Amino acid sequence: MITSRLGYAVLLCLVELLVVGLMLLGIIAGAFALLALMGYVVMRRGLAPLRRMAAQAEEIHPATLTTRLSEQDAPAELHQVIRSFNQMLDRLADGYQRLSRFSADLAHEIRTPVNALMGHCQVTLYQRRSVEEYESVLARNTEELERISLMVENILFLARASQAQSVIKPVTLSLDAELQRVADYFEGLAEERDITLCASGAGQVCADPMLLRRALSNLVDNAIRYAHAGGEIHLRGRRQAQGWQIEVINQGEPVAARHLDKLFDRFYRADDARTSSGNASGLGLSIVKAIMTLHQGDASVHCTANGEICFSLFFPDRPAAG
């Protein structure tokens, strides 16, 4: 009888322990569930600024590149991220606008000689012509094709330079010899307009020979085209801190201050009337800027107090090879 009572008491204790264990498990499970719910709510509220940023970013596409992420209601920890993202959008918007403008300008520039070629051919084919007339049309068409070819070559150069595909091989060059070489090359063209070329400078500049000559040639060609007849063009080289500065100075029509910073843009023209004729493609100064970028240097332009237009090239002492 005693044994039965003892067994019953043990069984009752085991049942009570089981009930308590189940209650504890339920409490623990409920606590975990409550903690998980609270964590979910906290994380959802904490990530709300990121979700708003993501929603704003999804609305940005090429037609809405002016949209910027807002720092309002964003935690302080995200302000720097938002500013960096907005700065990236500024750079993208600027690049996209430049690309769109370049594409439009390129289409316009190519359309002009193509229309000229088509017009020449259509007029010539309208009726039978003499051999001399056919030869004249072919000669004019050849000139237009050469212009297109030069434009394509310049565009390819700019594309390679902007994508850092061009490799420069800087060597030590005699500044005086290089300036005189370019002056001698353009001497005949300058004499046609009664313009005198004066080269002066002494020292040694570190640059890629072909690219240096191309940059100088573009500047001198530009100067001869727009300088006053009977004037002078000066090519000067002088030492400047940590490098050499080369200047091409001519007396020509003054350029308004609002145009100066844009002269190195592709296809930019300060005065369409000055470039509506001739072989100017609007890429010469852009190529100069690209060459100086490859040399880790700089190209600039300003008007002097006595009305001269001065283009300056700065070559650092030791540009890194590409």
CATH code of the region 107-162: 1.10.287
Fold entry, domain 171-316: Heat Shock Protein 90 (3.30.565)
- Are the C-beta atoms of residues 273 and 210 closer than 8 Å to each other? no
Distances in Å between the Cα of 57 and the Cα atoms of 66, 86, 91, 219 are 12, 10, 16, 44
Domain-by-domain residue ranges, the chain? 107-162, 171-316
Write down the H helix ranges in 126-193.
Answer: 131-162, 175-185, 187-192
pTM above 0.75, yes or no: no
Give mean pLDDT in consecutive 10-residue pieces for the chain, a chain of 322 residues.
64 74 80 78 70 78 77 77 85 78 71 80 84 84 80 74 67 89 87 86 86 89 85 87 87 71 69 49 80 86 79 80 50
